[in-house]
Amino acid sequence: MCYDRDSKYYSNRAFCYKHILDWEKVIADSRVALALDKENEKAFDLLAVGLIESERKTNNSFTKIEEGIRIFEHGL
């Protein structure tokens, strides 16, 4: 199996990163998963959560939170 072409591999790894609160890696792997499979709902959810949580951590602006909300709405 070629993991670099498997969307589920990246969304599962993003899920693992979520549990150790590594939001930047959650975002990165979720984006790769969605690039490979635009219907991967788990990746949509993880990307949205990652964006919201990374923004909450940095407190710089609401740009990522707004993007996260749009992604949640798209996934619904």
Q: What is the CATH number of the domain that holds 64?
A: 1.25.40.10
Q: Which domain holds residue 62?
A: 3-75
Q: What is the pLDDT of residues 15-59, one digit of tens each?
A: 999 999 999 999 999 999 999 999 999 999 999 899 888 877 666
Tokens read off for 42: 């788990």
* pLDDT of the residue at 60: 61
* pLDDT of the residue at 18: 97
Tokens read off for 35: 């690039």
Q: How many domains does the chain have?
A: 1
Q: What is the DSSP letter of 76?
A: -
SS3 content of the chain, % helix, strand, coil (to 5): 80, 0, 20
Q: Which of 8-12, 15-19, 33-37, 68-72 has the lowest mean pLDDT?
A: 68-72
pTM of the model: 0.77
